[in-house]
Amino acid sequence: MEQPFKYFAFISYNSKDTAWGKKLQKKLEHYRMPSTLCSEHGWQRTPIKPVFFAPTDIQPGGLSEELQERLKASQNLIVICSPNSAKSKWVGREIEFFHSLGRTNNIHFFIVEGSPHSGDPDTECFNPVIDQLGLPEILGANIHEKVYRWPWLNKERAYAQLISKLLGVEFDTIWQRHKRRIIRRAIAWTVGLLAVLVTLFAVWKMNQPIDVQTHLHEASFHNEALPPLKDAVVTMTLDNETKTDTLRTMDATALFANIPHRFLNKPVRLTVTCRDFLDVDTTLLLTPDMTLDIRRDPSVYGNIHFRLFNPNDETFYTNETLHVGEFETTSDGQGRVSCLIPLESQRKSYKITTAFPLLNDTIHMPCGENDVILSQ
């Protein structure tokens, strides 16, 4: 069974035509075929890939063993024809080597400059190796062929010619579809341009500053026994600019004045920092009136840590059952007491009760392992 080729095509070019090589490689690899042709021939929608182009793989130079292997692994040879490539001995060697592989019918020519068979070295675009090898009469796809009055359309026609030869299909099958796609693209560009102009006008017309109000809403359980929100810092980030306001109470409103109208209904970053509450860092669509959910940090008044100490014998009470408020817990082997109080039951301080009298029987929040409850 015949082994598939690694490359669909190999682009041979002179270094002065590198830009054309890159453009042609991209054009071929991204060319989408009609679905009907793909079904008929078993092609993918982008059947012309990969296309080997030296600058993306190896440095151009002599016909090295590596370059010969690339040619062997290529189903087609595409020669970018110009007076530059016509004078290039390396382009000639690549054509000669590919011809020696018995794939003469798979050599294709893409003319970007000059004229074929002009007889003038300054304008001749075909490498002399073509005549020396006695290759069949070659026309090539010529971007300067004046079929249409618009040069860009003639260039697109040349692309379609080359693609039809590479795939072995009728030129009109490719070209008629390609023309329709070009027309649709031109219409799309025109509509897009008009849309941009309308948008720019609307932005210019509507780019008047607005004032944005931001409210806070406590989304967690509201516990009246805990201190209320105080001095919440609200920050709005627009592009690289930040605006800040401080809310003294939960019912206050942060005001951000003179916001450019163009940011309306666009994503904006908002952050809130406030003691006893979890930080907020979110992105919302900017509106003149916004509300941010804020939640109390349950660890501030609910994460109990202290040690139970007997000052008489200077030891810690270990494995001692006690109550923190209404919650029962036990000290560990080093006298440490830990207890998590749910938000709805949290207080600013908790009464500690044990089986023995305490010298100080209240733990004030927030607390930590350095806090000590002493027995009498």
Q: Measured between alpha carbons, how far is residue 302 from residues 197, 229, 335, 368 in Å?
A: 58, 17, 19, 11
Nearest to 203 by CA among 262, 258, 259: 262
Residue ranges for the chain with pLDDT beneath 50:
1-3, 57-59
Type of residue found at 157: R
On the 0-12 / 13-18 / 19+ scale of CB atoms within 10 A, 192 is exposed
Reported as a single tens digit per residue, the pLDDT across 79-116 is 999 999 999 998 999 999 999 999 999 999 999 999 98
Q: What is the 3-state secondary structure (H, E, C) of 129-168?
A: HHHHCCCCCCCCEECCCCCCCCHHHHHHHHHHHHHHHHHC
What does pLDDT average to over the chain?
Answer: 90
Angle at 117 between CA 115 and CA 119, to 5 degrees: 95
Write down the pLDDT at residue 301.
97
pTM, 2 dp: 0.49
Q: Cα-flanking dihedrals φ and ψ of residue 309, to 5°?
A: -125, 140
Nearest to 245 by CA among 298, 278, 292: 292
Q: What residue ranges define each of the domains in the chain, with the CATH number in brackets?
A: 7-187 (3.40.50.10140), 210-296 (2.60.40.1120), 300-374 (2.60.40)
Reported as a single tens digit per residue, the pLDDT across 33-62 is 777 778 777 788 788 889 998 765 444 555
Write down the pLDDT at residue 63.
66
Measure the CA–CA gap between 359 and 371, rounded to whole angstroms. Answer: 14
